Amino acid sequence: MRKILLVLSCAINTFVWSQQSEAVLGIVENENTQLSMETVHVLNLTQVIGTTTDRSGKFELPAALNDTLYFSYLGYKPLKVAVTSDMLKFKNTKFRLTELAYALEEVIIRPYQLTGYLDVDARNVPLNNNSRYQISGLPNVGYEAGNRDRSAFSNALGALFNPADFLHNLFGKNPKQMRKLKKMRADDEIKNLLLSKFDRTVLEQLLGLERVDIDEILRNCNYSDVFIKESNDLQILEAISGCYEEYRVLQL
């Protein structure tokens, strides 16, 4: 009996170790030239971890069967593939990215007609009228309202303390999704990628949300349209994460 238990224990330990040690080793190439591509971001969307390719286009990333890999590089079409048994077995899979053709639009170098006189130019440049309000006891720096009217602060409070608002529906019903936020913030490769992006495509893939859903989350967290439009993806991630932490405080 003891021998049987010992054999079963060894088998289980071997299986667990093999599962934990699995990884995809591959090479990323340009679809047209077949040349290797350096510094391509490779994300495991399932495990929420990432890496980048080296000078030879090679990468190694922990993965398990059926995990989803996501490849991202500026100027190239993103690639999303499921991990197969062959990828885990042969360790030399080639992934090829296709370049995107961008039509250059007219660039306005001087959007404002400046005169050179500070007093005059200061009145001509539009101001950002959005305000931030801080609430004692909450961890974030505050809440952003779209104007400086007296009602802006009460609107922010109303959205926060309404128990049936969008935040409750999102955060209360998707704890698994919110755990992803913590993993994303803890992975330096993912953070570096998000820092350079403004299109929300990686956030959409990681969170499993559409762009419109991400914008709606931020609006219900009282962030202005200017912030939503102009912030990079890492700022958006931090804003959503901060809003979630404040939601948790309010539920205590």
What are the domain boundaries of the chain?
A: 23-97, 129-251
* pLDDT value, residue 101: 75
Angle 32-69-52 from CA coordinates, rounded to 5°: 70
Q: Across residues 189-209, what is the average pLDDT?
A: 90
Is the whole model's pTM more than 0.85, yes or no?
no
Are 171 and 211 in contact by the 8 Å Cβ rule? The answer is no
Q: Across residues 231-252, what is the average pLDDT?
A: 81
* pLDDT value, residue 115: 63
Which position has the higher pLDDT, 72 or 103? 72
Structure-token pair, residue 39:
């510094």
**Pairwise CA distance, residues 14 & 187, whole Å:** 28
132 closest CA partner among 141, 124, 120: 141
* pLDDT value, residue 130: 52
The CATH number given to 23-97 is: 2.60.40.1120
82-89 CB contacts, 8 Å cutoff, 24+ apart: 83/24, 87/24, 87/26, 87/63, 88/22, 88/23, 88/24, 88/63, 88/64
Q: Break the chain down into helix, strand, coil percent, rounded to 5.
A: 45, 15, 40
* pLDDT value, residue 181: 82
Q: Above 90 in pLDDT, residue 27?
A: yes
**Pairwise CA distance, residues 83 & 80, whole Å:** 10
Q: Please give the backbone phi and psi of residue 37, each rounded to the nearest 5 degrees, phi first.
A: -120, 125
* pLDDT value, residue 111: 57
